[in-house]
């Protein structure tokens, strides 16, 4: 049996990559450790500091067993990131195209923007992927009947 890897401490800084890493690591930690759902948020709170810990203490601690991880992560995000952060990411997403990037680079950055903007609808994601490809890539995909 392998001991679950503890998540890195998250301080509440509005750094999307740090936050996403914390969410992924925390979710995996609870899953691998078999932490009961009602105790997951409290368990994860021990890996918070600064602004994020303050959010837990003031908004969550008393009723922590009623919080899902998803709702908790949404709350931490809304508390720690600027109010217009998701809107800014949505605007970046709207303007984003493949340009000179490789397909892999384009898809990677697109996934990041989807996550940061809260875009979860599969159809919306596929349409954005398709429309953002260069004309040459779309042509080749059509030719290969992959449209």
Condensed to tens digits (0 to 9), the pLDDT of residues 120-131 reads 899 999 999 999
Please compute the mean of the pLDDT values over residues 29-50 and round it to a whole number.
98
Say if 58 falls within a structural domain.
Answer: yes
Domain final residue, candidates 61, 80, 99: 80
Q: How many domains in the chain?
A: 2
Write down the H helix ranges in the chain: 16-33, 37-45, 50-55, 69-80, 85-95, 103-117, 122-132, 135-143
136, 95: one domain? yes
Query: Tokens standing for 108?
Result: 């990677």
* For residue 1, pLDDT beyond 80: no
25, 76: one domain? yes
Domain final residue, candidates 29, 51, 80: 80
Binned at pLDDT 50, 70 and 90, residue 147 comes out as low
Q: Is 46 exposed, middle or buried (0-12, 13-18, 19+ CB in 10 A)?
A: exposed
Binned at pLDDT 50, 70 and 90, residue 116 comes out as confident
Binned at pLDDT 50, 70 and 90, residue 28 comes out as very high
CA angle 8, 48, 85 (to 5 degrees): 90
Is 8 in contact with 49 (CB distance < 8 Å)?
no
20, 71: one domain? yes
Q: What range defines the domain where residue 131 resides?
A: 85-143
97, 72: one domain? no
* Dmax (CA) of the chain: 59
pLDDT of residue 117: 86
66, 89: one domain? no
The Cβ-side half-sphere exposure at 41, using a 13 Å CA radius, reads: 24
Query: Tokens standing for 127?
Result: 């349409």
89, 58: one domain? no
Domain final residue, candidates 59, 80, 101: 80
Q: pLDDT tens digit string along 56-81? A: 999 999 999 999 999 999 999 999 99
71, 93: one domain? no
């Amino acid at each position: 049996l392998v001991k679950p890897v503890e998540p890195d401490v998250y301080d509440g800084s509005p750094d999307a990559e740090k936050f996403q890493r914390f969410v992924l690591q925390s979710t995996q930690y609870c899953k691998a450790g078999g932490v009961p759902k009602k105790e997951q948020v409290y368990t994860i709170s021990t890996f918070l500091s600064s602004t994020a810990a303050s959010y837990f203490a003031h908004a969550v601690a008393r009723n922590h067993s009623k919080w899902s991880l998803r709702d908790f992560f949404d709350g931490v995000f809304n508390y720690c990131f600027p109010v217009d952060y998701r809107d800014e990411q949505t605007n970046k997403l709207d303007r984003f195209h493949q340009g000179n990037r490789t397909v892999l680079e384009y898809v990677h950055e697109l996934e990041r923007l989807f996550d940061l903007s809260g875009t979860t609808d599969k159809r919306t994601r596929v349409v954005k992927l398709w429309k953002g490809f260069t004309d040459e890539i779309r042509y080749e995909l059509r030719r290969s009947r992959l449209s």
